[in-house]
């Protein structure tokens, strides 16, 4: 089966969803979880799930993205991944790094791409008055949040939504979408996944 490395920066809830999905006849298995933050909550969760963990602290390489990425690459290669999943990984990767994983690196982004690449996606959707918001899983290319979209899930924006309520309604959908895309991708199927819109119950 395909070997999956997962890169995180924080709580790792998407990482947990991915790991828990890779069971039974799944075409892939998790081999390592790597964080750029040694204190990321997701590292302990990965350990509890029995997955190898590592960290590469970006703060040890101030003003030297290439040095950080060299160590990150070496750490990844120690686990020989076929697929790399970015799951709440909050470091921008250079073109040199993304080229090494071309066609085998995925990312989840909390917006309906191509809208709202970068940060503060929930606030930007609210400011724009969008009737819908959502999340996207895409292939990682050199440009930030820009590769082919392999799946999206959407929610209706309600009257009193805040960035926080949008984030908390969206997160459970991320946990459905990312495993669905990974399963297809690991089977060599790049047909986009579309989850039905979630309407909140009034
Ligand atoms: C998720 O909402 C993910 O979409 C977002 O960070 C959160 C991580 O949560 N990713 C980005 O903003 C990427 N730029 P998690 O650590 O619980 O999976």
Q: Measuring from each residue's beta carbon to the nearest atom of ligand 1, which residues come in under 6 Å?
A: 8, 10-14, 42, 87-88, 90, 108-110, 135, 171, 174
93 is in an annotated binding site: yes
The percentage of the chain sitting over the pLDDT mark of 90, rounded to a whole number, equals 96
For the CA of 86, the nearest atom of ligand 1: 13
14 is in an annotated binding site: yes
Q: What are phi and psi of 2, to 5 degrees?
A: -70, 140
Report the half-sphere exposure of 33 (CA within 13 A, side-chain side): 30
Q: Is-contact 155 128, C-beta < 8 A?
A: no
Output the pLDDT for position 197: 72
For the CA of 16, the nearest atom of ligand 1: 18
Cα–Cα distance, 96 to 69 (Å, whole number): 9
Cα of first residue to Cα of last residue in the chain, in angstroms, is 44
Output the pLDDT for position 200: 58
Question: What's the predicted TM-score (pTM) here?
Answer: 0.97
In the reported structure, the alpha carbon of residue 143 is separated from the centroid of ligand 1 by a whole-number distance in angstroms of 18
Which of 180, 171, 178 is CA-nearest to residue 198? Answer: 171
Could you tell me which residues come within 8 angstroms of residue 8 by beta carbon, excluding any fewer than 6 positions away?
Answer: 14, 15, 33, 34, 35, 40, 42, 43, 46, 87, 88, 89
Q: List the strands of the sheet with 193-194, edge to edge.
A: 53-55, 28-35, 2-8, 83-86, 105-109, 132-139, 149-156, 193-194
Q: Which residues are catalytic?
A: 109
Cα–Cα distance, 13 to 200 (Å, whole number): 22
ipTM value: 0.99
- Over residues 140-186, the pLDDT tens digits come to 999 999 999 999 999 999 999 999 999 999 999 999 999 999 999 99
Q: Report the nearest-CA residue for atom 10 of ligand 1.
A: 88
- Over residues 22-67, the pLDDT tens digits come to 999 999 999 999 999 999 999 999 999 999 999 999 999 999 999 9
Q: How confident is the model at residue 125 (pLDDT cuts 50, 70, 90)?
A: very high
Output the pLDDT for position 195: 85
């Amino acid at each position: 089966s395909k070997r999956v490395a997962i890169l995180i920066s924080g709580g790792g809830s998407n990482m947990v969803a991915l790991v828990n999905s890779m069971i039974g006849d799944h075409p892939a298995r998790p081999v390592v979880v790597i964080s750029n933050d040694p204190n990321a909550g997701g590292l302990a969760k990965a350990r509890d799930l029995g997955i190898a963990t590592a960290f590469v602290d970006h703060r040890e390489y101030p003003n030297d993205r290439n040095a950080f990425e060299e160590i990150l690459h070496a750490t990844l290669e120690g686990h020989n991944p076929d697929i790399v999943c970015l799951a709440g990984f909050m470091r921008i990767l250079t073109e040199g790094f993304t080229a090494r994983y071309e066609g085998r690196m995925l990312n989840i982004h909390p917006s309906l791409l191509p809208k709202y690449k970068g940060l503060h996606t929930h606030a930007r959707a609210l400011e724009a008055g969008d009737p819908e918001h959502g999340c996207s899983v895409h292939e990682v290319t050199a440009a930030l949040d820009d590769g082919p979209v392999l799946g999206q899930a959407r929610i209706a924006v309600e009257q009193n939504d805040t960035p926080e309520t949008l984030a908390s309604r969206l997160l459970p959908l991320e946990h459905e979408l990312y495993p669905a895309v990974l399963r297809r991708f690991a089977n060599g199927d790049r047909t986009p996944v579309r989850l039905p819109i979630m309407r909140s119950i009034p």
